[in-house]
Amino acid sequence: MRPSAILAASDLSPRSAQVGGRAARIAQRLEARLIVAHVAPADLVELPEEAPRVPVEAVADEGGGALAEAPSGPLRSLGQRLLGRRMRRGIDGPARALDAAARGLLPKPELRLLAGEPAEELSRLATDEGAALMVLGLHRERRVLDVLRLTTMERIVLAAPVPVLIAHRDAGRPYRRVLALTDFSPASAAALRFAARLAPEAEFHAIHALQLPLGARLAAPDAAPDDFLTQAEQMRAAFLAAPGLPRLAEAPEIVPGGVHEVLAYRQVELDADLVCIGTHSGRDPEQLGNYARDLMRAPPTDLLVAKPG
């Protein structure tokens, strides 16, 4: 049985500068394989239908040599076919950039150049390769389009069969402090459990933003009414009884207020290296929670997003 894999998905831009290094660090810790992948637009790289996921090793450079040791058999034939005509022109640039992005990483990565829709291709690759985690870079902001539709990153997270780490802090530094923004749901428990796998020696903290109805906020602007607080405390007790959670530095703090202000207050105080959050509160597995979406678009630090486990 092959070991699991850590999948580093790079868009080959500066936004993904820390993706390979962070994924490599995690792969070493988990004794996993490392795969570095890039998805090019289907209209730029027209890969044969029967083999849409092409190892970069199958693509030769201009001098006739290989970017890495070329495989034999069907993949060699595929590589030779890809060198023909406009397919060669479309794939050569991304292949070189992917090879450069993976250079020097340990464990030695396997390279995958994909073509098509990123969420679909990366999800399929993660499933096929038995990935345990997908690592992405920062979102490219498109203000008008981001309002009208899901971003590429959001589609990837929804489609991914594994947790997703958005990495942009210096990959050379280990995670020392982890902050879980929890709504006490199974998804947030899954995020905290996986964060413990990534950084077992870190200090773990958790915070819950207690959002009150407008009437309750007007009636008690400086405190949570007893019934709402009691309900939150009961949810916290059930959450802490979930198996596999790491030891927390303190019980999850329940703070009345909006998620953004509560996270900002605690993040400044802790200077956490990693924030973890669930994709949603369990109401609709096909939708991202609003706060998960907001954090993914502008994460204050590295961000781990997980579905219910």
The CATH number of the domain holding residue 47 is 3.40.50.620
- What's residue 227's pLDDT? 81
Q: Are residues 61 and 185 in the same domain?
A: no
Residue 171 lies in a domain: no
What's the structural domain count of the chain?
Answer: 2
- What's residue 123's pLDDT? 97
Q: Are residues 106 and 152 in the same domain?
A: yes
What range defines the domain where residue 226 resides?
177-306
Among 123, 138, 166, the domain-final residue is 166
**Contact predicate 133/7, CB 8 Å:** yes
Q: Are residues 22 and 83 in the same domain?
A: yes
- What's residue 106's pLDDT? 95
Residue 134 lies in a domain: yes
Mean pLDDT by 10 residues, the chain (309 residues): 90 94 97 96 56 49 41 49 46 84 95 94 97 91 50 90 96 96 91 95 94 56 68 94 95 87 86 90 62 83 90
To 10 degrees, what angle do helices 85-102 and 74-82 make?
110
10 Å Cβ neighbour count for 307?
20
- What's residue 66's pLDDT? 38
Among 103, 138, 166, the domain-final residue is 166
Q: Are residues 78 and 116 in the same domain?
A: yes
Residues 6+ apart with CB under 8 A from 262: 181, 207, 209, 255
Q: Are residues 15 and 158 in the same domain?
A: yes
Residue 216 lies in a domain: yes
- What's residue 147's pLDDT? 43
- What's residue 263's pLDDT? 86
